Chains A and B, each alone.
Chain A
Amino acid sequence: MVELVPTLLRQELARLAEDDQRLDGRSQWEGREVSLEVDCLYNAEGSAKVVMGKTIVYAGVKFELRTPWPDRPTQGSLMCGAELRPVAHRKYEPGPPSPESIELGRVVDRGIRESGCIDMESLCIVPGEKVWGVMIDIHVLSDGGNIFDACGLAAIAALRTAIVPAERFDVGEDYKLKVNGTPIMSSFTRVGGRYIYDPSEEEELGGDERIHITLGDEGHLHSLQKGLRGVFTPAEFAEIFDVAHQRCADLRTLVANQEGN
């Protein structure tokens, strides 16, 4: 479905930006309240639900036994995919995975993979014969803006609660998956000429290009992505990079607190 971008919405967003305001009253770098629930899906080995404003996302972790790649006989594998099914918004249509959903899944995948939080060697059972394949599936149920951050958060939270189902596959006792770190994504969209953090649905509709930054525990970059039409300056990036450090730290604390419960 083609979404029309109302000129009035763009004008209103530009006017608000001049006064350093946003449609929903947030400040430029303020995120919506985030609620995170873990271990919430009965058949998944690890799971999480994230609610950010009108956005609702679930992530579930499954395991399978597979033979390792010939050039990496002692390494398991990790795969993260996202589905933008028509349930999530009237703009999504049925059919094969859209470029948008592939981009989403791959950006989340890179952030987790490149942070090194999963030691692929630890997923090996018998070198050259049997390794674990870890699959994170992200299911967007309601797209109310900034699904990237919601998906990134749900994915790592689900992964961090995952139990390896060794008993069911007859390869020993179940154990908690070892995850060394909590990579977190922060997303920014240009709205009314300036960047804002955590865009709402209206801000995405009436905004321009977006930038996604995934940071590890030490503040290192693990994945970057610029999406949609538009350009930005190094100075603009420096500013949102600073904000990303703070927002990522906040969300990392949220994940840690959930696990403590």
Chain B
Amino acid sequence: MGGYGDVQLLRDDGLRLDGRKLDEMRPVSIEAGILPAADGSAMVTHGLNVAVAAVYGPMEAHPRKIQRQDRAVIDVRYNMAPFSTGDRIRPGYNRRSREISKVTAEALESVVLVERFPRSKIRVEIEILAAEAGTRCAGITAAAVALADAGIPMRDLIVGVASGKVEDIVVLDLDKAEDNYGQADLPVGILPNTGEIAFLQMDGDLSPDEYNLAMEYNFKAAAEIHEIMVDALKRRYEGGEK
């Protein structure tokens, strides 16, 4: 969190700079099955963020040392395209993308029925084409739809959402300015049907009450996004528009 106190993030009428209410998320749209070369794929547009996920597998796990005798491993790569941000990003892995890839993989391994595919690997590639705060959440949502599109059995979908705090007030779904100058960010991955949480990160400063409110916002948003995810998968498989 940047934590600059002198940047005004809430308007005098109580709305946010982009006109959203405190508990209002940015518009989300999802399309499943967009990449012909992949076994499953999805594109998530969340506000100005664009995340694409491709799934390959289950396939033979190699190198052999990553194999697990009793289950599949999920190999996630989260990557920001060089042109996805204001200043160009040098291509290649960095510490941030490695960490996000790791915790995202662990979250997905919590929902995929990995025990069905011993010794195998499922590759999940998350590519961020445009970034405006909230890319890891958009990436998780895209990965879940891509896994479902690939026909991989899961206990539930998983929805990436975040809430945070700006000017001492809890708000849902931080945009770029709120992320840069706000006081806290709480991204989570929620299983919409079971109400469980498979992904959790946080930075900044939140009181217990603020945490509870932020989480309440997150669950509300997850239910909304879940409907959009299901709708995207239905459109893909019910013979509607592709």
The answer to whether the Cβ of B201 comes within 8 Å of any Cβ in the partner chain is no
The listed residue (B91, B92, B123, B131) touching A86 by CB distance below 8 A is B123
B54, A47: Cβ atoms closer than 8 Å:
no
Name B48's closest neighbour in chain A (CB-CB). A42
Instruction: Report the minimal beta-carbon distance from A38 to chain B, rounded to whole angstroms.
Output: 14
Smallest Cβ-Cβ distance to A64: which chain B residue: B88
Partner of B85, one of A43, A47, A54, A142: A43
Chain B nearest CB from A151 CB (Å) reads 14
Task: Check A43–B54 contact: CB distance below 8 A.
Answer: no
A135 at the interface (CB under 8 A from B): yes
Q: Is A188 an interface residue when CB atoms closer than 8 A count as contact?
A: no
Q: A137 near B36 (CB under 8 angstroms)?
A: no
Q: In the complex, A124 Cα to B85 Cα: how many Å?
A: 24
91-120 of chain B: CB within 8 A of chain A: 91-92
Interface window among A55-63, A233-241, A242-250:
A55-63
A109 at the interface (CB under 8 A from B): no
Complex contacts, A85 vs chain B, CB 8 Å: 77, 79, 125, 127
In the assembled complex, how far is the CB of residue B139 from the closest CB belonging to chain A, in whole angstroms? 12
Contacts of B81 in A (CB 8 A): 58, 60, 137, 139
Which A residues are in CB contact (< 8 Å) with B166? none
- Tell whether, in the assembled complex, residue B91 and residue A83 are in contact, meaning their CB atoms are under 8 Å apart: yes
B180 within 8 A of partner (CB)? no
Which residue of B has the minimal Cβ distance to A47?
B83
Query: Which range holds the interface residue count of chain B?
Result: 20 to 34
Which B73-94 residues sit within 8 Å CB-CB of chain A? 77, 79, 81-88, 91-92
Asked whether, in the complex, the Cβ of A62 is within 8 Å of the Cβ of B83, the reply is: yes
Indicate if A68 sits at the interface (CB-CB under 8 A). Answer: no
Q: Per-position contact with A for B126-145: 1 when CB-CB < 8 Å, else 0?
A: 01011110000000000000
Does the CB pair B36–A43 fall under 8 Å? no
Q: Does B38 lie at the interface of the complex (its beta carbon under 8 Å from any beta carbon of A)?
A: yes
Residues of chain B contacted by A89 (CB below 8 angstroms): 37
Given known contacts A61-B83, A81-B91, A137-B82, is B125 in contact with A54 (CB within 8 Å)?
Answer: no
Distance in Å: Cβ of B194 to nearest Cβ of chain A = 29
Chain A's nearest CB lies how many Å from the CB of B18? 14
Give the distance to chain A from B189, nearest Cβ to Cβ, in Å: 20
Chain B interface, >50% SS class? loop
Chain B: minimal CB distance from A177 (Å)? 15
Query: Does A9 interact with chain B (Cβ within 8 Å)?
Result: no
Q: How far is it, in angstroms, between the C-alpha of A87 and the C-alpha of B39 when the chains are bound?
A: 11
* B82 nearest in chain A by CB position: A137
Alpha-carbon distance A201/B79, docked complex (angstroms): 25
Q: Which residues of B contact A87 (CB under 8 A)?
A: 35, 38, 52, 54, 77, 79, 125, 127
Residues of A within 8 A of B38 (CB): 87, 142
Inter-subunit contact A43/B84 (CB<8 Å): yes
Smallest Cβ distance from A94 to chain B, in angstroms?
A: 6
**Contact between A141 and B83, CB atoms less than 8 A apart:** no
Q: Is A88 on the interface with B (CB-CB < 8 A)?
A: yes
Contact B36–A56 (Cβ < 8 Å): yes
Quick check: is B56 within 8 A (CB to CB) of the other chain? yes
**B87 adjacent to A64 (CB under 8 Å):** yes
Interface centre among B79, B81, B91, B123 (most CB of A within 10 A): B81
- Knowing that A43-B48, A60-B81, A64-B87 touch, tell me 6 more A-B residue pairs with CB under 8 angstroms: A43-B85, A43-B131, A56-B36, A86-B125, A87-B35, A87-B79
Interface, chain B (partner A; CB < 8 A): 34-39, 48, 50, 52, 54, 56-57, 59, 77, 79, 81-88, 91-92, 123, 125, 127, 129-132
A residues with a Cβ closer than 8 A to B are 41-44, 47, 53-54, 56, 58, 60-62, 64, 81, 83, 85-90, 94, 96-97, 135, 137, 139, 141-144, 168, 201
Between A and B, 27 residue pairs with Cβ closer than 8 Å are A42-B48, A42-B130, A43-B85, A43-B131, A44-B83, A44-B84, A53-B36, A58-B129, A60-B83, A62-B82, A81-B82, A83-B82, A85-B77, A86-B56, A86-B123, A87-B35, A87-B77, A88-B37, A90-B37, A90-B39, A90-B57, A137-B81, A137-B83, A139-B127, A141-B127, A142-B54, A201-B37
